[in-house]
Amino acid sequence: MKLTLRQLTDMLPTNRELNVWCTELNKALPVYGIDTPERVASFISQCAHESRDFTALQENLNYSQDALERVFSRYFGVGKRNAAEYARKPEKIANYVYMDEFRSARGALGNTQPGDGWRFRGKGLKQLTGRSNVTAFAKDYGMTPEEASDWLETKEGALASALWFWSKNNLNKLADTGDVEKVTRRINGGTIGLEDRQRRYNTAMQALTGDVPSRSPVIATLRKGSRGDTVKQIQRRLGLAADGVFGPNTDKIVKMWQAKNGLVADGIVGPKTIERLLP
């Protein structure tokens, strides 16, 4: 199938370079078998969420002190490094939170050389992050990791990296199911941003087929680490500050509410909890 400019306008409403992107997508998507409404909608919606409508080709780390303590609570706060010393200093932030010496073995990114955190911060439509990931990508394109890192900041490289990741993780097969949550979990290991990804997928399917998919739930399962409007609704219902971030305090109060209401106190806001909490 071939994307039209009108369809892409619906999918990427804030992008001002749609003619270029439409041409590039129509050339590249068929090569990777992304040639059905479900596959096209899944790929574009996921990339659009990660890159703000294909406009942010590298990670923005210009965080305030409060944002650092909220987003990177593992690294900043009481008993940890002072977020005020890092606020609004993107390179300094990256060279701390993205360096392997400050991460768990499970979260290692291969960033071991000075400056790797900043050099290999998230780039491309998929926000490819870390020397290890970029090295694997670079190998398939006959580049050095440093060359690939620079290429990721271009439209061509940004799209190539997303398609590479999509293919390596066999995401066409998952996209065929229309299950946005499963695709999201394969991409980032959790459900961060699931509501926005689902909304974007629905919009894309409507643009491509004229129909809104009926299979995926409007309200997804939420847990510690989730974000979005539904988290805000839950927080308001529980009398909490509605910042939309399912953090430790929200997790604690949800568990207390679940125990009080005869539910399993696991902090997971699934169908049963939502039915009782948001009637």
Round to whole Å and give the CA distance between 204 and 208: 6
- Residue 179: what residue type? D
For the residues of 96-160, what is the DSSP string, one character each? HHTSGGGS-STT--S--STTHHHHTSSBTTTTB-SHHHHHHHHHHTT--HHHHHHHTTSHHHHHH
Round to whole Å and give the CA distance between 190 and 94: 22
Rounded to the nearest 5°, which phi and psi values hold at 29? -55, -45
How long a stretch of residues is the chain? 279
DSSP-assigned beta bridge partners for residue 123: 58, 128
Q: Residue 190's pLDDT is what?
A: 81
Q: Residue 231's pLDDT is what?
A: 85
Contact 255, 246 (CB under 8 A): no
DSSP-assigned beta bridge partners for residue 269: 222
Residue 265 burial (10 A CB sphere; 0-12, 13-18, 19+):
middle
Round to whole Å and give the CA distance between 268 and 127: 28
Q: Residue 275's pLDDT is what?
A: 73
Round to whole Å and give the CA distance between 263 and 276: 10
Q: Residue 194's pLDDT is what?
A: 87
Round to whole Å and give the CA distance between 146 and 160: 16
User: Tokens 């065929």, residue?
Assistant: 176
pLDDT in tens, 180-199: 999 999 998 888 788 889 99
How is residue 112 written in tokens? 């071991």
- Residue 13: what residue type? P
Q: What is the pTM of this model?
A: 0.74
Residue 86 burial (10 A CB sphere; 0-12, 13-18, 19+):
buried
Q: Residue 218's pLDDT is what?
A: 43
How far apart, in Å, are the Cα atoms of 35 and each of 3, 67, 98, 143, 208?
10, 39, 36, 28, 11
User: Tokens 């129909």, residue?
Assistant: 211
For the residues of 99-115, what is the DSSP string, one character each? SGGGS-STT--S--STT
Under-50 pLDDT residues of the chain: 216-219
